[in-house]
Structure 1
Amino acid sequence: MDQDNRHSVSVAGVILDEHGRALLIQRRDNGHWEAPGGILERDEDILTALRREVLEETGLEVEPEALTGVYKNMPRGIVALVFRCRASGGSLRETDESQAFQWMSADEVTAAASEAFAVRVLDAMLYGTSPAIRHHDGTHLLQLQAK
């Protein structure tokens, strides 16, 4: 298979509190506000990766409740699976990967995160009956034409 045609798969967990706010972390590497998550390792299943990434970035253990969206970064070939989660243990803390965290309302998420990452959290907060499927360029959503 041509290296240029390969995709990477990532996971993210949108953890909601009892007030319906979502937990976002501020990444140490770029300062962006995002839901905790990261790239799957080759030998791990999706839910194990989700739990590992959230724990590594927040100190929280989570249980996924629903797949709320599938997102593709078109230039980088990254497919992200986003899950709404509930915290089931651990304690919230800064980590090697996160320098801050905050529970945010939908309006706060929109103000703090780039469009491509805010929509993932908003889709999880407003999840209906099926996951959203969206494409972006790393920052902004793209409207792709059906072929």
Structure 2
Amino acid sequence: MERFSIPCVAGIIEKQINGTTMILLQERWKENAVKEEGLVEIPAGKIRENENIFDALRREIWEETGLEVEEIHGEKEAGIYASNGYKVLDYMPFSCSQNIQGNYPILVLTFICTAKGELLEKTNETQNIRWAPVSEVEASLTSDSRSFYPMHVASLRKYIQFLKK
């Protein structure tokens, strides 16, 4: 039986605290993903059928963190083309990752964004939601990248390099 990759969206939510760049991290706690319990991740989730990717990112961040997205990098440059019954959104994510082996065939499009509001303590999918200095994230990725959800490792490394430029 032919299977298809599931499109997902993720957000690297950044915030400045006392001159330090912080990003939001959380730990996975999903009923149907026991092997991934406790892995560090960024907010992410599936894109619903015909859902605008930016709306999906806002929804997922709200559901998993309680935060309201203020800005998504690249959203203002996105365009819509309509023709022959299609309405096509053209956009550029910060990073793309595809799982090409294993039981969960997903494709994650990651964006950098900012958000406001009060963090939830936990949800039915996440816990230990917190702001972490990028330097701490970099050290953790260097010392033990296996403690992170694999779909987000390359995007986080790319983000850290992006900040150093």
Q: Which TM-score band (shorter chain)?
A: 0.7 to 0.9
Question: Structure 1 stretches of 5 or more lacking a match?
Answer: 129-147
1:83-102 C-alpha deviation (Å, 9 max, x unpaired):
00111x33111222211122
> Retained in 2: the 8 A contact 1:68–1:127?
no
> Retained in 2: the 8 A contact 1:36–1:57?
yes
Instruction: Kindly name which structure, 1 or 2, has the bigger radius of gyration based on alpha carbons.
Output: 2
In 2, Cα distance between equivalents of 1:58 and 1:108? 24
Number of residue pairs aligned between Structure 1 and Structure 2: 125
> Retained in 1: the 8 A contact 2:108–2:151?
no
Deviation at 1:6, TM superposition (A): 1.7
Give the TM-score normalised by structure 2.
Answer: 0.67
- Percent sequence identity over aligned pairs: 30
Runs of 4+ in 1 over 4 A off after TM superposition: none
If each structure's helix is expressed as a fraction of its own residues, which one has the higher value?
2
1:32 aligns to 2:39 (yes or no): yes
Give the TM-score normalised by structure 1.
Answer: 0.74
RMSD: 2.1
Q: Give runs of aligned pairs for residues 1-147 of structure 1, distance below 5 A.
A: 4-18=2-16, 19-29=20-30, 30-62=37-69, 63-66=71-74, 67-75=93-101, 76-87=104-115, 89-93=116-120, 94-104=122-132, 105=134, 106-110=137-141, 111=144, 112-114=147-149, 116-127=151-162
